[in-house]
Structure 1
Amino acid sequence: MPTVRDPASDLQHALLSRLKLRQLSLLAAIDRHRTLGRVAAEMRLSQPAITKALREAEDIFGSRLFERTSRGLVPTPSGEAVLHYAQRWLAELEATSRVLTSLGAGQSGRLRMGLTQQVPQRLLSSALTHLLDRTPRMAVMTREGTTDELVAGLVARELDCAIGRSYDGDATGLVQEAIYEQAPCLVVCAKSVKRLSRGPLDWARMAKLDWILPPPNTPMRRTYNAIFVGAGVQPPLPMLETTSIRSIEMVLRTEPNAVSILARDVVAEMELSGNCAALPYRMSWNLPPVSFFTLKELEGHPMVRSLRSAVTETARSMQGTAA
């Protein structure tokens, strides 16, 4: 009786026996530059050598990975699939090399942590102190971004964990735990508080001010737009779109009609400068909770587990103080 061949098993065998990391690096470089000439210059090889290497990679995968267009070399659907995994493998290799380098330098390892701008200072301090006050010391890399950007970094294996807002999108293997609730408040220039807080909260009146909002298609922008819509008001066209606390503070300091929505505890930290202040209105809703993120494959890692316990304990203490 003839043996039934499994094409997927045959391809897996070809990848295990023939595929080399330099070929994955080549495919990633082609995707970045989209021209073989630029790839050849980066890799310090001749263009014919790059062309030959691409053909070898396509032969291994059994598919055409790029096609020539007026925009240069563009990945085919098979190329997109290969690049998705190639970039993850290369990111894992880069992370491994840095961990080994840190261990060789006498450190206890390396952890890559993502943070949103609205993580309270006390929570940030707790996380960094936990990581840095170790013997031997841990090497730490931090990256700031929106929750969507941090989740993308986790999925791409560019981050090990993150602290951000709760995420309602679809990300394979993502694990998140809500650790801290934050109340929202309206924040304005300190000199404008008396003028802008006359009367009850009126969202129609507020919408006419100069708004500072997060960029479009971010979780917080969607939340704020829903608040205006729920109040029967068209969401305002913002004067500034940013998640940078420094940028928000600067504009609030100089623009008398500028307003934004931030977490009350973050605004309390901003108020210490005397330039910004919260309007005396209480919202009937909470911000999406601050959450700890990692991947399923990393949640049992000793350093990730230890950090999650530390920030969760700090968040519990902060919540009790605020209550």
Structure 2
Amino acid sequence: MPTAQDPAAALQHSLLSRLKLRQLSLLQAVDRHRSLVRVAAEMQLSQPAITKALHEVEDIFGSQLFDRTSRGLVPTPAGEAALHCARRWLAELEATTRVLTSLEAGRSGRLRLGLTQQVPQQLMAAALTHLLDRTPRISVMAREGTTDELVAGLLAREIDCAIGRSYDGEASGLVQQAIYEQEPCLVVGAKNVKRLSRGPLDWARLAQLDWILPPPNTPMRRTYNAIFVGAGVQPPMPILETTSLRSIEMVLRHEPNAVTIFARDVMVEMERSSQWAALPYRLNWSLPPVSFFTLKEVEAHPTVQSLRRVVVETALRMKQAAAQ
């Protein structure tokens, strides 16, 4: 009598025995272009050859990976799963080539660090100095972004660890440790402080100003919206949505009613060289804490462990100094 075969085991055997890296690269190209004509042009092959290659990949995965629509090739649910696999494997391959290249150049390895722009300068300096002063030296890649972008980079294996705001979304395998609390403050152009600070703190009045806020669906934007709602005020429609410090500084300098929220310690660090200043109000809430992020699979790596230790120790010293 024939024995029943586990479908998952059969699919895994098919992937292990038949799937090749160039086929994963093909999936990414199809997803990028959504057109077999453009994929063929990029890969310098005929369209029939690309069509045949895609059919072979779909046969290996045992599912149709793309729907053919008037808008081009659109990933099916199975296609999205296959693309997730392709992105992860190819990202790991790219990371490995970078590590090997750094080793060949005499370095002891490579670490990819993500940072948000409102990480205090002292914390950022401690992290980068620790990494760059190691002996033997390692190669460092630093990347800035919002917390959501950095978490996405971690999950895609594009970075190894990050320092950002606490993350409240679902992310399997993500490890985060809150390390530093920051006080928020309202920031305006320095020449506008006296005029905009008249009277007591009034969120209804503040909501009428020209706000600079982080992009939608970021942890900080959700926090700020919740503050307005908690004060019984409709969150304002911002004139600018950005995390770019240069853009924020330019708008604060030129727009007389522009206002934003910053971590007070970061604002003080930048106040000397910028034309902005804090309004004299104390806000009775805290920003999401600065946190250290990595993945379970790499948190035991010696370089990641030593970096986290330095960052945590620096944050502790900053807390102690602030309390004095």
TM bucket by the smaller chain?
A: over 0.9
- TM-aligned CA deviation for residue 141 of structure 1: 1.0
Partner of 1:137: 137
The answer as to 2:66 corresponding to 1:66 is yes
Partner of 2:116: 116
- TM-aligned CA deviation for residue 57 of structure 1: 1.0
In 1, are the aligned partners of 2:249 and 2:274 still within 8 Å (CA)? no
For 1:82-231, list aligned pairs within 5 A: 82-231=82-231
- TM-aligned CA deviation for residue 15 of structure 1: 1.1
Aligned-pair Cα RMSD in Å: 1.1
User: Residue deviations 1:155-206, cap 9 Å, x none?
Assistant: 1111111111000000110000001100000111111111211221111111
In 1, are the aligned partners of 2:180 and 2:315 still within 8 Å (CA)? yes
- TM-aligned CA deviation for residue 244 of structure 1: 1.2
- Could you tell me how far apart the structure 2 residues matched to 1:147 and 1:207 are? 25
For 1:30-49, list aligned pairs within 5 A: 30-49=30-49
Helix, strand or coil at the partner of 1:273: coil
Partner of 2:248: 248
User: Residue deviations 1:286-311, cap 9 Å, x none?
Assistant: 10000000111011111111111111
CA 69–274 in structure 1, closer or farther in 2 if over 3 Å, else same: closer
- Could you tell me how far apart the structure 1 residues matched to 2:271 and 2:5 are? 69
Helix, strand or coil at the partner of 1:26: helix
Equivalent residue letter for 2:276: C
Partner of 1:5: 5
Equivalent residue letter for 1:319: K
- Could you tell me how far apart the structure 1 residues matched to 2:56 and 2:206 are? 62
- Could you tell me how far apart the structure 1 residues matched to 2:42 and 2:306 are? 41
- TM-aligned CA deviation for residue 224 of structure 1: 0.6
- TM-aligned CA deviation for residue 149 of structure 1: 0.8
Partner of 1:262: 262
In 2, are the aligned partners of 1:115 and 1:145 still within 8 Å (CA)? yes
User: Residue deviations 1:60-84, cap 9 Å, x none?
Assistant: 1111111211011111221111111
- Could you tell me how far apart the structure 2 residues matched to 1:5 and 1:11 are? 10
User: Residue deviations 1:213-247, cap 9 Å, x none?
Assistant: 11111111111111111111111111111111221
In 2, are the aligned partners of 1:249 and 1:270 still within 8 Å (CA)? no
- Could you tell me how far apart the structure 1 residues matched to 2:66 and 2:239 are? 42
- TM-aligned CA deviation for residue 270 of structure 1: 2.0
User: Residue deviations 1:124-180, cap 9 Å, x none?
Assistant: 111111111122221111111111111111111111111110000001100000011
- Could you tell me how far apart the structure 1 residues matched to 2:74 and 2:231 are? 46
Equivalent residue letter for 1:8: A
- Could you tell me how far apart the structure 1 residues matched to 2:70 and 2:4 are? 42
TM-score (norm 1): 0.97
- Could you tell me how far apart the structure 1 residues matched to 2:307 and 2:159 are? 14
- TM-aligned CA deviation for residue 12 of structure 1: 0.9
- TM-aligned CA deviation for residue 3 of structure 1: 2.4
- Could you tell me how far apart the structure 1 residues matched to 2:208 and 2:314 are? 39
- Could you tell me how far apart the structure 1 residues matched to 2:234 and 2:212 are? 15
TM-score (norm 2): 0.97
The answer as to 2:10 corresponding to 1:16 is no
CA 210–75 in structure 1, closer or farther in 2 if over 3 Å, else same: same
Structure 2: segments with no counterpart, 5+ residues: none
Helix, strand or coil at the partner of 1:5: coil
- Could you tell me how far apart the structure 2 residues matched to 1:253 and 1:160 are? 37
- Could you tell me how far apart the structure 2 residues matched to 1:257 and 1:59 are? 60
Equivalent residue letter for 2:138: M
**How many matched pairs?**
323
In 2, are the aligned partners of 1:131 and 1:140 still within 8 Å (CA)? yes
- Could you tell me how far apart the structure 2 residues matched to 1:216 and 1:160 are? 25
Helix, strand or coil at the partner of 1:238: coil
Over 6 Å off, 4+ runs: none
- Could you tell me how far apart the structure 2 residues matched to 1:196 and 1:33 are? 50
- Could you tell me how far apart the structure 1 residues matched to 2:274 and 2:65 are? 58
Equivalent residue letter for 1:174: L
User: Residue deviations 1:100-128, cap 9 Å, x none?
Assistant: 11111111111111111101111111111
- TM-aligned CA deviation for residue 2 of structure 1: 4.2
